[in-house]
Structure 1
Amino acid sequence: MPHIFLDPNLAGIRSLLDYRKETAKALMDLAEVLLRGDSPLTRGERELIAAYVSEQNDCEYCAASHGACAAMLLPEGTPLVDQVRKDPAQAAIDDKLRALLAIAGSVAQGGWAVSEEQIAAARAAGAEDRDIHDTVLVAAAFCMYNRYVDGLATLTPHDPAAYAVVAERLVNQGYAIPRQAPAGAVSGAVSGAGAAAAAASEGDSAGSSASDGPASAELKPKRGFFSRLLGSK
């Protein structure tokens, strides 16, 4: 049972994005840059880091959703993701990624847990400054997302099929929330259950300024757009 009233048709972070639309865009813009923006780490590797850190933080929703994303993006698929979530030291990954995951795991414990020995091991395996930086930033950000999701006791599905749907949306459409969306353009909008929402509140036309003309009114989402975009039933 969530600690606050949340839409019962939305699970995990989706319900929180719906609850506080003012912060939703910033949170998802950050996820878009971290997981899909420019980086020496592949998208699959970054999703794998997010899933592993979420596993370390016992955040089932984030671990499952980003694990499903990683499985879609990495050639080895779900078996490798399951190995990493269980124990990266035994997973069939290269030494560089293994060393970076060790750093990410230490970030989950606390920033000061990252040791000089871990950094040296990552460098010896071929990691450069940007690899290390992006690993730590993704890990730190997901500690925040994990605590946000679990700190308010959001609903967590236990059916893997639900996360497969989430992953398909996120991998193909991304995390960023459009500032405006044409009325009725739900099918083409950016969405996803680890991260999708609309920038404008539903039915906010009453609060718009008098200078808003017919053209701008046509660009405002129809009432219910936000909920549909998030995948509510």
Structure 2
Amino acid sequence: MATKDPSISRFPVPSLRDMPTDIRARIEAVQEKVGFIPNVFVVLAHRPEEFRAFFAYHDALMDRPGNLTKAEREMIVVATSSMNQCHYCVVAHGAILRIRAKDPLIADQIAINFRKADITDRQKAMLDFAMKVSQSAHLVGDAELDALRTHGFDEEDAWDIAAIAAFFALSNRLANVTNMRPNREFYSMGRG
């Protein structure tokens, strides 16, 4: 039994009052929407310029209109984050996936073995491609893009899948190095 709550980062975490106004406003908006401040926001606020760049690219990828649903985008994050052993991203994005897919089981299935998850063959092909990008992008070639096309994905979809997998490879590595801890609230979200 733990005697104290573990730190959310091994690096300094600024207080909300000491953050630049734009970053504090963004964090307060998230807090108002979800009821708590996800630890990723305060951990990355350690470096304000990088915080801004990180979340600008995150939003461009995850909120972009296209053929991938918001739930499918989260599937990519959960599958690749699991392979990269990113505790924070599997837990936090698993919660988001459960909510977006309206399925309390989906995130656990994908995190453990997406090939056995209750998802479509199209989604399995998407995750196969994402995993290859995440683990061995240097081996991605025409055959992988052709496999996506057989499942109805176009070039823009392939770019989206690759970009999400690549971005979260960066995120996973930062979360692991900082020892970022998921908020307790994430564990129960979307389960009941």
TM-score (norm 2): 0.74
Query: Distance in 1 between the 2:99 and 2:69 partners?
Result: 13
Gaps of 5+ in 2: 1-6, 17-36
Residue identity in the other structure for 2:163: L
Contact 2:92–2:182 under 8 Å retained in 1: no
Query: What is the aligned length?
Result: 163
Query: Distance in 1 between the 2:143 and 2:169 partners?
Result: 22
Which of 82, 85, 97 is equivalent to 2:123? 97
Compute the displacement of 1:18 (Å): 2.2
Query: Distance in 1 between the 2:50 and 2:187 partners?
Result: 23
Compute the displacement of 1:156 (Å): 3.9
Compute the displacement of 1:111 (Å): 1.3
* 1:144-194 C-alpha deviation (Å, 9 max, x unpaired): 11111111222344x4x33556x8xxxxxxxxxxxxxxxxxxxxxxxxxxx
Compute the displacement of 1:56 (Å): 0.9
Q: Which has the larger radius of gyration?
A: 1
Say what the alpha-carbon RMSD is for the aligned residues.
2.4
Query: Distance in 2 between the 1:156 and 1:72 partners?
Result: 17
Percent identity of paired positions between Structure 1 and Structure 2 = 25
Alignment map for 1:156-195 (pairs within 5 Å): 156-157=182-183, 159=184, 161-163=185-187
Alignment CA distance shift 1:118-1:87 (3 Å): farther
Matched, 1:139 2:146: no
1:40 paired residue number: 67
* 1:203-222 C-alpha deviation (Å, 9 max, x unpaired): xxxxxxxxxxxxxxxxxxxx
SS in 2 for 1:126: coil
Query: Distance in 2 between the 1:80 and 1:141 partners?
Result: 22
Compute the displacement of 1:115 (Å): 4.8
Gaps of 5+ in 1: 168-233
Query: Distance in 2 between the 1:82 and 1:42 partners?
Result: 19
Query: Distance in 1 between the 2:188 and 2:52 partners?
Result: 23
Contact 2:87–2:181 under 8 Å retained in 1: no
SS in 2 for 1:4: coil
Greater fraction of residues in helix: 2
1:171 paired residue number: none
Residue identity in the other structure for 1:162: F
